[in-house]
Structure 1
Amino acid sequence: MSEPILLGLSGSLRKDATNRKLLREAARLFDAGTFIEADLNLPLYDGDVEVGEGIPEAVHVLADLIAQAHAVIISTPEYNKGPSGVLKNALDWVSRTSGKPWMDKPVAVMSAAAGRAGGERAQMILRAFMVPFQPRILQGPELHLADSSNEFDSEGRLSNERYENTLNALMKKLRAEAGF
């Protein structure tokens, strides 16, 4: 069997976002042959744009990456008690492509947020957003990284052993779900 391809989607566009750091830690623990961080800096979904100009090329690229990946990890911040608009927009755009790239795809969701709940609400809502796409979303262990800006060392590694153990367990489960 080939080496696993792992795709990461961060609900934050910031270069040094804790959700990006969390994705990278997850990829390290998953031990993928290839890890790709998707670009979610897409235009806002607009049905008039879709009809007039078609689906943007960047959306097709994202859909193809999802389809080609053996597994996907999604990390969302919590903005006003829900996932980011960036992430929801990407999901909306991909839903307009053909081929059902999410169908039966092993997916692990996690969250990193400033608040004490670690993005728990955002993660719950994200799971609901994913239902129409019919991926195989892991039910746990759940990782809600609270006070996330203080949970990484200068190398971008998780500094809390409890969070790292939970993430490691989640990645082992995802790897098994993907058949590796």
Structure 2
Amino acid sequence: MAENIRVAVFVGSLRAESYNRRLALALARLAPETFTFEHVAIGDIPLYNQDRDVNPPEAMTRLKHEVESAQALLFVTPEYNRGIPGVLKNALDTASRPWGKNSFAGKPAGVVGISVGAIGTALAQHQLRNVLAYLDVPTLGQPEVYLQFSEGLLDDAGNIYKDDTRRFLQGWVDAYVAWVRRFVAAS
């Protein structure tokens, strides 16, 4: 029987009706049952301040624990002003600190996103990939997912209504699962 793999999911949007949260749910529905997707709350993380490294607030400790207890990572990000949302960057900064205690290091990741814009979240994903490379997070390079949201594409529960989108996302999930298994098998 295959090992259960816990995936820490970071949705870069705090909005209740987030398209990226819908996408995260849709991807989880397409994954094998041996993959468990656990959404990490990032809206309550205080702004990173190195002075707190010695006596971190509970939210920082919780975040680091959730990352460390996962075998893989999934980042589902919107694009705000051609970059990643501040709340997502803050979570990355927080869980990668203090220096020498990077909770993300070595964990395989996937990066996707959806937006109403024609280029999806291409620039935000590029920026996020740069940060993840620095944090020693091996990130799936291909295929890439830059979705443009349209009504009737996804519902709040992550149901995908367009067959071609479902097939496309299934291909990405299959590649992500294989990517993650390479790293989990090696550990």
The 3-state SS of whatever aligns with 1:20 is: helix
Q: Is residue 122 from structure 1 mapped to residue 124 from structure 2 by the alignment?
A: yes
Match for 2:123: what amino acid? Answer: R
The change in CA–CA distance for 1:79 and 1:142 in structure 2 (over 3 A counts) is same
- The equivalent of 1:161 in structure 2 is 163
CA distance in 2, matches of 1:113, 1:103: 28
- The equivalent of 2:81 in structure 1 is 80
Cα deviation digits, residues 28-83 of structure 1 (max 9, x gap): 112344221000111112234x15x7222222222222222122110110111111
Q: Is residue 6 from structure 1 mapped to residue 7 from structure 2 by the alignment?
A: yes
The change in CA–CA distance for 1:154 and 1:56 in structure 2 (over 3 A counts) is closer
Instruction: Report the TM-score, using the length of structure 1 for normalisation.
Output: 0.88
CA RMSD of aligned residues (A): 2.1
Structure 1, unaligned runs of 5 or more: none
CA distance in 1, matches of 2:133, 2:112: 16
1:23-62 pair list within 5 angstroms = 23-33=24-34, 34-41=36-43, 42-48=45-51, 50=52, 54-62=55-63
CA distance in 1, matches of 2:68, 2:31: 19
Moved more, 96-105 or 10-19: 96-105
Instruction: Report the TM-score, using the length of structure 2 for normalisation.
Output: 0.85
CA distance in 2, matches of 1:95, 1:155: 31
Percent sequence identity is 31
The change in CA–CA distance for 1:158 and 1:90 in structure 2 (over 3 A counts) is same
CA distance in 1, matches of 2:28, 2:169: 10
In the alignment, which of 119, 137, 140 is matched to residue 139 of structure 2? Answer: 137
The change in CA–CA distance for 1:152 and 1:132 in structure 2 (over 3 A counts) is same
Q: Aligned pairs, how many? A: 178
